[in-house]
Structure 1
Amino acid sequence: MSRFCFSSALVAGCLLALSHFNAFAQSDVISKQPLAANSVMVVDLKTNKVLHAENADEVSPIASVSKLMAAMVVLDAKLPLKEKIAVDVSQSPIMRNVHSRIRIGSKVTRENMLIMTLIASENRAATSLAHHYPGGFKAFVKAMNAKAKALSMNSTHFDEPSGLSENNVSSASDLIKLLKASQSYPELKRLSSMPKRHVIFSKPRYKLDFHNTNKLVFKDSWDIALTKTGYTSKAGQCLVMLAEMNKREVAFVVLDAFGKYTHLADANRFKRYLETGKVSKVPKEAQKYKQQKQTQ
């Protein structure tokens, strides 16, 4: 869990600044530190300065980063977090034959569903949250898109909450807006930054351990207030974070990175650059992938 918090004044200022972000994203702002991801945006939250931006307006699938919006919609509805709800994916065609450790019909608190959704990127958990939303699954997806519109995320669209759909798309510049909005959700920050969670289910009773897919939350050198990862073959490796880098509170977005840990390596590279001024090399394979993507 984060050691720093954002003041209400800062939150208000950042939200007011949302309307100015399209101007920032029109051209690249590239630091001396190269990054491997195809689409990048890093912003100093105090000054609103863009520290690094590449292809920030490019629209692409965002995989499980979608779950961050799903969790925000659940919290907006102010549904009881201690209420036990059943694992249910019946209204989501894309969830057919999707493997999961959690059993259909078993029950767990809505809070634990949120935690599994955010830290372990559990697809059944995210979809179950939608099934237990007022109006059901379709109303939930509609609320996700309405929230995106309200935040002026004009390049963003959701077909379902898990991120398995290739039609769940956004851009780095839009996701910066989502990160800025998330500053006013203390529960979202608390739940997403947990390193791990032991969850007890009922009907039937069983226990499972879940760990954060962002391995940086386990590092003492990192102070992460909020995070979500994502991956599909179409989306590549994705990472969004609110984190501290060299005593700066930053919003960090990388989309479509090549390699299992490249999104995390990009975060480490940029943090090290801000702290030391030293430039780190990007692996040749990742450079080649990025060049190929940018010529398509």
Structure 2
Amino acid sequence: MKNRLLSSSLRRVLVKPLVLGAILFCLSPHIYAAQQELASTSGMLVDLNTDEVLYASNPDRVMPIASVTKLMTAMVTLDAKLPLEQKISIKINETKEMRNVYSRVRIGSELSRKDMLLLALMSSENRAAASLAHHYPGGYAAFIRAMNDKAKALGMTKSSFVEPTGLSRKNVSSARDLVMLLKASEGYPLLGELSSTDKKTVTFSNPWYKLDFRNSNRLVFKNDWNIQLTKTGFTNDAGRCLVMRTEMNKRQVAFVVLDAFGKLTHLADANRLRNWLETGKVTQIPTAAKQYKQQRLR
């Protein structure tokens, strides 16, 4: 009788952990899954509905963010509630970083403020971003102050801006701070609409001319991606950068990668993380990218 009772008790002791383990696995399928490595130096993935951190790699590292800056530039422009259809001129004289930077857009020509926003976000046009700052109430310096005030208001404690384009290495942030910026962007539906536009022919005036522009994020052209907002960035100091509000595994997520190696590495990292989140499968990163990352983290 004692043996039977002991056997029954032992079964209960053994079964409980097994049941608990099964429950935990069902609730959090990635608890036991191998962690996906990124080729980018820093990255973060957050569920926008629950604030759950789905992935993080060096998320608090302060780094140059290149043209991801333009998302803050656009947000500050909209905060000023200026007329979007007002024509403003291409003006860059106070943005010293623009000297000797090529652009097809002609100095002095005019475009609506809305189309300036479109070009800055969709095609990462530096002259458009600089012009938005030059035509801000109070002037260029007031615009830069507003960028930093906005970062502070959003709790972006590791972020700082000195100009509106991202050409300066002094425009810095972290993956975690940029997730905050992506969350805030949900309150600016126009930013999502403009940044996720695939291509557009834009007509300038004084003088009159037309130019074709395409989105700098190739994933926008992929049918299997549902992208609500995006911004790319690249300088030699910042590497390849990408931020998005998108969908992964039926979740609305904020995605950030900074300082990626190679022209397509930031896009490959987006595909790697989505695949890992949906299947639990780990994808290897190229040796060259791994070596680049190790060097940058020294």
TM-score (normalised: structure 1): 0.88
Q: Determine the structure 2 residue equivalent to 1:141.
A: 144
Q: State the match for 2:193 in structure 1.
A: 190
Pick from 271, 284, 287: which aligns with 1:281?
284
Q: Give 2:41's aligned residue.
A: 38
Q: Report the 3-state secondary structure (helix = DSSP H, G, I; strand = E; otherwise coil) of the residue aligned with 1:271.
A: helix
- In structure 1, the partner of 2:174 is 171
Report 1:1-296 matches (<5 A).
Answer: 32-294=35-297, 296=298
Measured after TM superposition, the shift of residue 31 of structure 1 is 6.0
- C-alpha displacement of 1:224: 0.4
Give the unaligned 5+ runs of structure 2.
Answer: 1-32
SS in 1 for 2:285: coil
Q: TM-score, normalised by structure 2?
A: 0.88
Structure 1 segments unaligned to the other structure (5+ residues): 1-29
In structure 2, C-alpha distance between the alignment counterparts of 1:292 and 1:162, rounded to whole Å: 27
CA separation of 1:51/1:70 partners in 2, compared to 1, >3 Å: closer, same or farther?
A: same
Q: 1:277 Cα shift? A: 2.4
After the TM superposition, which segments of 4 or more aligned residues of structure 1 sit over 3 Å from their partners? none
Any idea what SS the aligned residue of 1:253 has? strand
Partner secondary structure for residue 176 of structure 1: helix
Match of 2:107, SS?
coil
After superposition, the C-alpha distances for 1:12-53 in whole angstroms (9 at most, x for unaligned) are xxxxxxxxxxxxxxxxxx962211111111101122111111
Give me the CA root mean square deviation. Answer: 1.0
Q: CA deviation at 1:211?
A: 0.6
Kept in 2, the 8 Å contact 1:31–1:52? The answer is no
Q: Secondary structure at the match of 1:238?
A: strand
Report SS of the residue matched to 1:255.
Answer: strand
Counterpart residue type for residue 220 of structure 2: V
Partner of 1:7: none
Structure 2 partner of 1:13: none
Q: Which has the larger radius of gyration?
A: 2
CA contact (8 A) 1:201 1:207 kept: yes
Percent identity, please.
Answer: 62
